């Protein structure tokens, strides 16, 4: 819990240090959704807790995963991007470690400060975003270096769309440009007329994977605004913003404080919500929210959102289930399945909460790699 709180402090401090500016949200056409109107539902009515699938990721000297990672499943492979290691680890669906992809360093085939990754199913490659500027290095699933692309502008998250163009997110109105999303089409033409300050007044620079793609539309999350932006063909086409009432983060108040830390301390005292992770499949988005208040433990709760009707279903608004409070949402899977991860030292919560014989063949130690769970 303390580690997550430090992570949020880092996000806000980085926003301040890297030159976030305060501008009014003029002309914002995003749909505003009131979280209080979300229909509550119990965990057991959304997740198939009886049909749970357990995938313990093998722990070896070459495959140790830190507590800062994201997971993607593709073509029978489990890809884990470890932010501390700065590389991708590949496992099979039984959790057996297969190989690593990329390695930190300054060499032509190495990764300098990698920050995001994308799996290209068509070309069977893993693309990793790193420095300088926005450099994409491409590797085979087996870890062999293939090629690279380089652009001068900075970014920390990216995705490839169905037209082989790339969206890049800077997350901050920097000295490079006041625009925070850059689109590069397949012919390398650059379009920066996206996400100007009128649509999002302040950006962030330290968030995990910000983009997902579904049915030709790219979705971008901005966590402290609690908004999801819809992008297609290099243009902003729509967006939704989740409103939490008195627990919204009011960035317009920032100039009233002597510094970012004082502003954060006030937020922490009052309590605030932020998007932690999300995914989109067909017409539905699934979001993991984090509620933080100085006097309480961090609380995680989930929401299902119909992107056509704006219907919201909230899973445990109070975040009072200890198991689900410690789950890390990773991605949506077909057939209404959800992929989560849980740390090995919290694995006992799964055994204590969900009645299943799936645990009998696994002996999970506290220092082992995270365990993947499919509901």
Per residue in 305-316, pLDDT tens? 999 999 999 986
Rounded Cα gap, residues 371 and 207, in angstroms:
23
What are the backbone dihedrals phi and psi of residue 228, each rounded to the nearest 5 degrees, phi first? -120, 130
What pLDDT sits at residue 39? 92
Token pair 């609690």 is at which residue? 226
- CA nearest neighbour of 14 among 191, 161, 204, 165: 204
Helices (H) and strands (E) in the chain, counts: 4, 26
- CA nearest neighbour of 36 among 363, 317, 323, 275: 317
Highest averaged pLDDT of the listed ranges 3-17, 165-179, 328-342: 328-342
Rounded Cα gap, residues 54 and 350, in angstroms:
10
Tokens standing for 5? 């709180």
> 342 with 326: CB under 8 angstroms?
yes
Residue 259: pLDDT band by 50, 70, 90 thresholds?
low
What pLDDT sits at residue 26? 35
What pLDDT sits at residue 286? 96
What pLDDT sits at residue 88? 98
Rounded Cα gap, residues 211 and 23, in angstroms:
24
**Does the domain at residues 2-374 carry the CATH identifier 2.120.10.30?**
yes
Is the pLDDT assigned to residue 4 strictly greater than 60?
no
Is the pLDDT assigned to residue 136 strictly greater than 80?
yes
Other beta carbons less than 10 A from residue 325's beta carbon: 19
Residue 357: pLDDT band by 50, 70, 90 thresholds?
low
Indicate the pTM of the whole model. 0.87
Q: Which residue has the higher pLDDT, 72 or 223?
A: 72
What pLDDT sits at residue 199? 43
DSSP string, 213-250: EETTEEEEEEGGGTEEEEEETTEEEEEEEEE-GGGS--
Token pair 């108040």 is at which residue? 253
Other beta carbons less than 10 A from residue 336's beta carbon: 12
- CA nearest neighbour of 279 among 340, 202, 232: 340
Is the pLDDT assigned to residue 340 strictly greater than 50?
yes
- CA nearest neighbour of 195 among 163, 226, 228, 162: 228
Tokens standing for 165? 């163009």
Burial of 149 from C-beta contacts in 10 A (0-12 / 13-18 / 19+): middle
- Report CA 305 to chain centroid distance, whole Å: 17
> 196 with 202: CB under 8 angstroms?
no
Could you state, in order of their start, the residue ranges of all structural domains in the chain?
2-374
Helix (H, G, I), strand (E, B) or coil at 331: strand
Rounded Cα gap, residues 85 and 192, in angstroms:
31
* pLDDT tens, residue by residue, 188-241: 999 876 655 444 444 444 577 899 999 999 999 987 778 899 999 888 888 999
Rounded Cα gap, residues 201 and 178, in angstroms:
10
Rounded Cα gap, residues 108 and 167, in angstroms:
23
DSSP string, 177-197: -S--EEEE-TT--EEEEES-T
What pLDDT sits at residue 7? 44
Q: Which residue has the higher pLDDT, 55 or 8?
A: 55
Question: Does residue 335 come out as left (phi exceeding 0), alpha (psi in the -120 to 50 range) or beta?
Answer: left
Percent of the residues in the chain that have a pLDDT greater than 70, as a whole number: 79
pLDDT, mean of residues 320-329: 81
What pLDDT sits at residue 41? 87
* pLDDT tens, residue by residue, 141-190: 999 999 999 999 888 899 999 999 999 988 654 555 566 789 999 999 99
* pLDDT tens, residue by residue, 24-68: 333 446 899 999 899 988 877 888 777 788 999 999 999 999 999
Is the pLDDT assigned to residue 15 strictly greater than 60?
no
Peptide bond into 262 cis (omega under 30): no
What pLDDT sits at residue 208? 77
Q: Which residue has the higher pLDDT, 127 or 273?
A: 127
What pLDDT sits at residue 284? 95
Sign of CA pseudo-dihedral 245, 239, 206, 178: negative
């Amino acid at each position: 819990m303390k580690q997550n709180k430090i992570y949020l402090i880092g996000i806000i401090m980085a926003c301040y240090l890297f030159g976030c500016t305060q501008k009014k949200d003029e002309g914002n056409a995003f749909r505003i959704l009131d979280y209080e109107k979300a229909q509550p539902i119990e965990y057991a009515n959304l997740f198939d807790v009886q049909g749970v699938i357990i995938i313990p990721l093998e722990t070896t000297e070459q495959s140790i995963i830190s507590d800062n990672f994201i997971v993607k499943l593709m073509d029978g492979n489990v890809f884990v991007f470890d932010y501390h290691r700065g590389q991708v680890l590949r496992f099979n669906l039984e959790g057996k470690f297969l190989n690593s992809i990329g390695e930190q360093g300054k060499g032509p085939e190495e990764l300098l400060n990698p920050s995001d990754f994308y799996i290209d199913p068509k070309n069977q490659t893993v693309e990793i975003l790193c420095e300088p500027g926005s450099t994409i290095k491409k590797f085979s699933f087996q870890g062999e270096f293939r090629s690279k692309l380089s652009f001068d502008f900075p970014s920390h998250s990216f995705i490839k769309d169905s037209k082989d163009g790339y969206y890049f997110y800077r997350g901050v109105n920097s000295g490079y440009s006041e625009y925070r999303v850059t689109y590069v089409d397949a012919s390398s033409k650059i379009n920066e007329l996206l996400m100007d300050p009128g649509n999002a007044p302040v950006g962030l620079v330290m968030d995990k994977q910000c983009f997902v793609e579904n049915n030709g539309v790219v979705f971008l999350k901005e966590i402290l605004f609690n908004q999801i932006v819809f992008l297609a063909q290099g243009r902003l086409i729509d967006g939704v913003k989740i409103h939490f009432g008195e627990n919204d983060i009011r960035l317009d108040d920032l100039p009233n404080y002597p510094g970012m830390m004082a502003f954060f301390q006030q937020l922490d005292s009052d309590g605030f919500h932020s998007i932690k992770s999300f995914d989109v499949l067909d017409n539905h988005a699934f979001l993991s929210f984090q509620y933080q208040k100085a006097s309480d433990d961090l609380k995680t709760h989930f929401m299902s959102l119909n992107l056509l009707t704006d219907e919201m279903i909230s899973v445990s608004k109070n975040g009072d289930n200890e198991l689900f409070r410690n789950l890390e949402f990773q991605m949506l899977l077909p057939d209404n399945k959800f992929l989560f991860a849980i740390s090995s030292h919290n694995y006992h919560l799964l055994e204590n909460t969900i009645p299943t014989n799936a645990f009998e063949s696994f002996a999970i130690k506290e220092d082992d790699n995270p365990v993947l769970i499919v509901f």
